Structure 1
Amino acid sequence: MASKSNSTFSVLGSDLAITGDITASADLHVDGAVEGDIACSALVQGETSTVKGAIKAETARLAGTVEGSITARELVILKTAKITGDVFYDALTIEQGAQVEGRFAHRNAKSGAATAPSSSSAKPELTVAG
């Protein structure tokens, strides 16, 4: 599989409903409904979008509904987001008004696994946007 530069951007429109896993080597903008896991470099989710499945991305900006776990290096949860599931992150920003039902765990940047609170010497980065 040939790797392209990160200038590629794919859009799933609001009229689109997909059942199945999505893997993208580039950036992905989702406005429609996805029932399946999403793995991509950068994910932007629109307010009207729903995702039922796990999300794995380097960066994610979520504004819609997610039912499933989220793993991201840089995660932004906007005020319109409704998330049900565990969240694993390196850097996290949550706007006031966002709804999250689940656990938050800071990832170990080297292994990608969640760190145990007792073994973590670095403090997780948490930003609350107003």
Structure 2
Amino acid sequence: MSFWLVKSEPGAWSWDDQMRDSVTAWTGVRNHQASNFLKAMKLGDLCFFYHSVSEKSVVGVVEVVREAYADPTADDPRWVCVDVKAVQAAPRPVTLADIKAVPELADIALIRQSRLSVMPVSPEHWHLIGRMASLSG
């Protein structure tokens, strides 16, 4: 299993929207590196759901339930999306400031490549942020 972080602006698609719909297509990614990460996702992979822009925090976990396929919102079939399912809300959202304050997280892609909307998360970083968020499992 691999771990990821996916970002969404709460005004466009929020954690509440994800919880309401449970499963959704993660569409609209138009960066080649982020798209390649979507293509690498496998069934059962877990992703931190991150509210970008105003909140800047990990607010939940989603699971990949359908691997990459052509993004129906794109005119070009090279752009892909995956389907994700809500797994668990973060009992304690973990802010970007919280993450930056932990030396063990200094090399996480969220800090190094802050504009990327989809990124891998190492197992060590996953477990550390999961503990910070009081997530089970």
Instruction: Give the TM-score of the pair, scaled to structure 1.
Output: 0.26
State the structure with more CA Rg. 1
> Which has the larger share of helix?
2
- The structure with higher relative contact order (CA 8 Å, sep 6+) is 2
> Which has the larger share of strand?
1
Instruction: Give the TM-score of the pair, scaled to structure 2.
Output: 0.25
